[in-house]
Structure 1
Amino acid sequence: MKKSNLVDIITMGCSKNLVDTEHVMRQLESNGYRVKHDSNNPEGGIVIINTCGFIGDAKEESINTILQFAELKQAKKIDKLIVMGCLSQRYLEELKLELPEVDHFYGKFDFKSIINDLGKAYRPDLELERTLTTPPHYAYVKISEGCDRTCSYCAIPIITGKHQSRPIEEIVDEGKWLVSQGVKEFQLIAQDLSYYGYDLYKKSKLAELTQRLSDIKGVEWIRLHYAYPAHFPFDILPVIHERDNVCNYLDIALQHSSDHMLKLMRRNVTTAETKDLLARIRSEVPGIHLRTTLLVGHPEETEEDVEQLKEFVREQQFERLGVFAYSHEESTYAHKHYKDNIPDEVKQQRVDDIMELQRPISAKHNEKKVGQTFKVIIDREENEYYVGRTEFDSPEVDPEVLISKKHKVKTGHFYPVKITTFDDYDLFGEISNPQQDEQ
């Protein structure tokens, strides 16, 4: 039986979408609704789907999810179906025509209207508050929206518009509130961390923001996601190196390494500049773990380009690496100017080849950690292990530390863990001092 005061929210796509969902949940709860997130058994009178519209696979998943709940609405198993997020921001008019079962569509930035359209009052005094969907000890902190870059393949600027930094004070106030709720770890996220501050302050402010957040009492770890290599803010490096609670970790999407492809992709950086950047980062922050993302199968990518990329991966020995196949997205520069001339099976083979190349590199990095003791936060308990992470591991995307249950530990707390063995992507360890509960 559906429950009129229960709302089920489903989030598709990235952590930036998740933050939007959490704000909606807080507003709904403040107005008397009970809210469930990503439930395996939705039973609410209202279902809200926060969609992704970035690449083909994500769009298809979002559409299929909408269709699934449209059928439930037709069968009168739910009362209202609401769609928000990137897909409806990008294809609002088309979706309205094709999915009449959906009661309301909201884009990426007008989702606050959901509360008013439900006949409730939006609470501006709760603007910085969220209902966390993550484990309570960590949270994603979105420092900006949009992107001013003009990469050939990317639809994000089409969806989100120009880069808009949030004011430093606002983010710091949000950080203080999160800590008051028990959060110990911040994942700083944006479409482009490197550009943070230019629109508001006329210069990069990522270093200052990170310093201000690291000054908040109770913040144990801050981790930086999605930097851009061109016009990189080098003043962030001493902050990472010198601040104990800023993790020796940087997520910087490089996409490719050959000059031919970097030019076609409109990345505004060269192979030599990329290598110099990586060398400087590693020099100024010894021991830093770099995560990067690569894109293969872009139009006009040759076998020579792919071989150069493979050699780049061998040379750089990234600690963390992901690879995606190109998606020919309408309205992007690549869609307008290039033919999608590489077959899907070739794209996938290139993905598989590079990930296979990365596998022993990842294993080698893990092997070096055997015998060492690391500060580890415990995320959850599974049947055989406690599952945690080091400062070098971001939730969901990076390796984990699987800890024997020889000693009982608490979720959300830090412990010293000695690494005993490894596999290609994960570490195995034991609590080295069960009495030392750091938090």
Structure 2
Amino acid sequence: MKRKTIDIITLGCSKNLVDSEQLMRQLKGSGFDVTHDSETPKGDIAVINTCGFIGDAKEESINMILEFAQAKEQGSLKKLFVMGCLSERYLKELATEIPQVDKFYGKFNWKELLHDLGKAYHEEYNIERTLTTPKHYAYLKISEGCDRKCSYCAIPIITGRHISLPIEKILEEVRFLISQGVKEFQIIAQELTYYGVDLYKKQMIAELIERIADEPGVEWIRLHYAYPAHFPTDLLRVMRERSNVCKYLDIALQHISDNMLTQMNRHVTKEETYHLIEQFRKEVPGIHLRTTLMVGHPGESDEDFEELKEFVRLARFDRMGAFAYSEEEGTYSAENYEDSIPYEVKQARLDELMNIQQGISSELSALKIGQKMKVIIDRIEGDYYIGRSEFDSPEVDPEVLIKCSEGILSTGKFYEVQIVDSDDFDLYAKIL
């Protein structure tokens, strides 16, 4: 049994997770048993799907490879394979440094792994995946790569040019996922708003989302990783008109000072950013905005950081993450700027920014007390059912907690609730 079991370990983002799920379906179709992110690996073979985005992620990936390499040396593992973004970027170096790995693959040639295991790629499963998420939601990847050239970002180096999947192929996958019980779709891409430019010679994200929304069985659609420059405003109409398109947008803004936006090669200004946020909230009343900001990029002055803090206070994002600049070799920043801001300063700025946001999040959560919401139940934890509203994406956003004593609820089902309490992030509710 052990010889027919393969352990898949996925690191990094949800786009990597989709790749792992596709590989798992192929392996199962070839007769293997497959585990995912198992705390105690069970097989003779392990596949690590790595992340290579920033320093911390690269370190996590390397540590995971070394841990499994040690298991192989000790005899508890026969074969070790590595794929994903880290090995796409550093394939030759890794093969030299960690010879215990039987073979490194990049991000896009994982089909070769099947051949190396003596199996063929099953074309009939090309849209199928073995879901690692709860069966009621799935991530839906609509493109690969990115044509943006942000100064700090290694993603275009790793993934290459933007390549959109055809609309019909995406819809085929949606229908398959619905047949598996999926009701909620997290739409993901390196850059969502560029969708279609390569295939259809224009931005097609609004039409794609309309087409997905028309599929029977699609209850919620949530949009991730938009870009502010040349934002396709027709998408706001779709969000406003379609009840199954969540009033939620994940748009990474990174900074607000014109000085930093220029140095970051963001192709947007402070004035345009404020106008865009205003437009979002005017055209889609009740929209919840998630953003990501960066501190410590080369050239960020105290004045730039003060502007950023003021931006967070004024914009009052519903969801916000932030990270400190990490120099990535091969990027514009690494080759043209000096990483001169000390780590301690970056960390202090990061802490200060997140403290401001924590207060805002707490205030915004408290304003929801008394409101009625539709939530989907993800799981049970201790004395609570854990659910989410349309404004909450899995794993990154707040959750809605309902006491188990409220009654018997079913995972993957929707319920009407009333919010009765809140803390800094999560909400507490009762069933109506």
| Partner residue, 1:186 | 185
| Partner residue, 1:227 | 226
Partner SS, residue 238 of structure 2: helix
Partner SS, residue 41 of structure 1: coil
Cα displacement (A) at 1:74? 0.7
2:77 aligned with 1:96, yes or no? no
Cα displacement (A) at 1:43? 2.0
| Partner residue, 2:84 | 85
Cα displacement (A) at 1:324? 0.5
Q: Deviations over 1:35-93 (max 9, x none)?
A: 00000001211000000000000000000000000000011111100000000000011
Q: Distance in 2 between matches of 1:30 and 1:409?
A: 34
2:206 aligned with 1:246, yes or no? no
2:305 aligned with 1:302, yes or no? no
| Partner residue, 1:149 | 148
Q: Deviations over 1:369-412 (max 9, x none)?
A: 11111000000001110000000000000000011112110000
Q: Distance in 2 between matches of 1:418 and 1:352?
A: 33
Gaps (5+ residues) in structure 1?
Answer: 433-439
Give structure 1 regions of 4+ aligned residues with deviation exceeding 2 angstroms: none
Q: Distance in 2 between matches of 1:384 and 1:271?
A: 46
Q: Is the 8 A contact 1:139 1:183 kept in 2?
A: yes
Q: Distance in 2 between matches of 1:259 and 1:196?
A: 27
Code of the aligned partner of 1:346: V
| Partner residue, 1:365 | 364
Q: Is the 8 A contact 1:43 1:78 kept in 2?
A: no
Q: Is the 8 A contact 1:52 1:86 kept in 2?
A: yes
Code of the aligned partner of 1:243: R
Q: Is the 8 A contact 1:45 1:80 kept in 2?
A: yes
Gaps (5+ residues) in structure 2?
Answer: none
| Partner residue, 1:374 | 373
Two-structure CA RMSD over aligned residues (Å): 0.7
Partner SS, residue 44 of structure 2: strand
Cα displacement (A) at 1:367? 1.1
Cα displacement (A) at 1:413? 0.4
Partner SS, residue 3 of structure 2: strand
Cα displacement (A) at 1:220? 0.4
| Partner residue, 1:427 | 427
Q: Percent of aligned pairs with the same residue?
A: 63
2:83 aligned with 1:118, yes or no? no
Code of the aligned partner of 1:344: Y
Q: Deviations over 1:286-340 (max 9, x none)?
A: 1000000001010111111000000001111110000001000000000000111
Q: Distance in 2 between matches of 1:261 and 1:277?
A: 18
Q: Is the 8 A contact 1:48 1:82 kept in 2?
A: yes
Q: Deviations over 1:342-393 (max 9, x none)?
A: 1111111111101100111111111111111100000000111000000000
| Partner residue, 1:72 | 71
Q: Distance in 2 between matches of 1:149 and 1:26?
A: 32
Q: Deviations over 1:219-258 (max 9, x none)?
A: 1000000000001011100000110000000000000000
| Partner residue, 2:260 | 261
Q: Distance in 2 between matches of 1:364 and 1:246?
A: 26
| Partner residue, 1:281 | 280
Cα displacement (A) at 1:104? 1.0
Q: Distance in 1 between matches of 2:28 and 2:42?
A: 17
| Partner residue, 1:13 | 12
| Partner residue, 1:436 | none
Cα displacement (A) at 1:280? 0.7
Partner SS, residue 298 of structure 2: coil
Q: Distance in 2 between matches of 1:95 and 1:53?
A: 12
Q: Distance in 1 between matches of 2:201 and 2:364?
A: 39
Q: Distance in 1 between matches of 2:10 and 2:189?
A: 17
Q: Distance in 2 between matches of 1:359 and 1:98?
A: 42
